[in-house]
Amino acid sequence: MGAETEYTALFERQFIDGEWVPSSSADFIDVENPATFEHFARIPDGTVEDVDRAVDAARRALPAWKRTPLEERCALMELFLKHFQSMRNAVIGLEVKELGAPVTFAANAHCDYQYVRVASYIEAAGQVKLEEAFPASTVIREPVGVVGCITPWNYPLGQIVQKVVPALLMGNTVVLKPSQSTPLTACLMVEAFRRAGFPKGTINLISGRGSRAGARFAVHPKVAMISFTGSTEVGVTLAQQALAGVKRVSLELGGKSPCVWLPDVPDYAPAVPHLFNSILLNSGQTCTALSRLLVPKSRLAEVEALLVEHLSDYPVGDPADPKTKIGPVASKSQYETVKRYVELGVGEGARLLAGGVPEAPVKGWYVKPVIFTDVRNDMRIAREEIFGPVLCVIPYGTLDEAVELANDTPYGLNAMVYGASRAQACAVARRINAGNVYINDGPRDVYAPFGGYGASGIGREGGLYGLLEFTQLKALFDHSTF
């Protein structure tokens, strides 16, 4: 039995006001292993009453928590991190089971990288100026209040860390609603907060359906802010509902990100792993996935050969096998969505370079990587977020056309530019309308702001900017400041 079995009893409860308590509903939602179809756990089908109890607890805890010095909040967060790190084996085991993430990727991206993120927030908190003198005033940063955090299924811990940790550090109290599909590691995280001694009511967790429990956040009069990660469609609906109560809204939404290979590169082979890691790992279920590859028309055949050659470096299989790079997609719903888009791409006239319409599943929601070529940017497969291991190869003529194609999207979350001349690659990167642009093999920086333009969202996560997202400004005017 895995290390995660120690925490099984927590899964069927809500965490409200510092305690694991039963839901007001007697109904449960099964959690499925997408690699085996096994229903191996269940969570409460949370109710509006559950949300109200949690929000009330968070509201009661807010005055004392916001007065707690930042240094004390950071010390508690460091203790939380130690407890959370002690759960490493259980976290990895659950990410394999509830998401279908290959075990190596689960360890590196879904677990260890999240510990790094927590540590980066603690460090960045020391840079926040909570009070600043101006010529005729003093400006202070205060917490926003009770924050409702609604997180998606594709990075079950990553998106929670990006919201809950900075919100708490800045003195807010939190009610978390994780995805009903991948909710289990969230329970471990909240248990680590409990063991670290966070005051009752500062962090609460409500499991259940987003359409009921999550939607309640948007209209709850005691919730001051909504922080949501998910589809653009759902984000827009939540924002519209929240606006009726003039709530603060932070949205991290979808993407259809371009990867531009410049003509001056003598050999594109070194660029392939960066591309494939983005679009294939996590089975393409990544909002920042580089799903559109823009290449010079004159080198299309060369690129196609390279892509096919390196596809064998990404084997599909059992996520519990360390050799597996690509596991199943997360659910039947996601499998059917990807299948529909592959059929659509064929119907639109794109040419299949690799893969095809997924076969009927026998054991697991597996989708082998699909590469479409001869794609036009006006095709739906090039414009809509598929959220699966599906790559669209789009040829371009001039560099100006490449930039135009890269920017011809309602989204603006992520991009990559690969070129032999760093100066030229940087120049192209500056012309792309996206909140994040990678140049050649530039690494991710956890201290940098993360977020997008246009339909990709509102607000920023990560580092100092992610902390400031959960603060509001107050100007004090006093005669002594003149």
Among all residues, which ones are annotated catalytic?
Answer: 252, 287
Dig out the tokens for 35 from the structure: 């690699």
How far apart CA 231 and CA 253 sit, in angstroms, is 5
Q: Does residue 256 contact residue 407 with C-beta atoms inside 8 Å? A: no
Task: Retrieve residue 45's tokens.
Answer: 């089908």
Write the CA distances from 278 to 22, 196, 390, integer angstroms: 40, 35, 11
Return the H-helix or E-strand segment holding 228: strand 225-229
Q: How many residues does the chain have?
A: 482
- Residue 475, classed as helix, strand or coil, is strand
Q: C-alpha distances in angstroms, 358 versus 140, 277, 316, 388?
A: 55, 21, 13, 11
Q: How far apart are CA 53 and CA 393, in angstroms?
A: 50
Residue type, 378: D
Residues sharing a CB contact under 8 Å with residue 165, sequence separation 6 or more, in sequence order = 77, 117, 118, 121
- Burial (CB count <10 Å: 0-12, 13-18, 19+), residue 199: middle
Nearest CA to 330 out of 320, 341, 338 is that of 338
Q: What is the bridge-based pairing of β-strands 39-44 and 28-32?
A: antiparallel
Structure tokens at 82: 């130690």
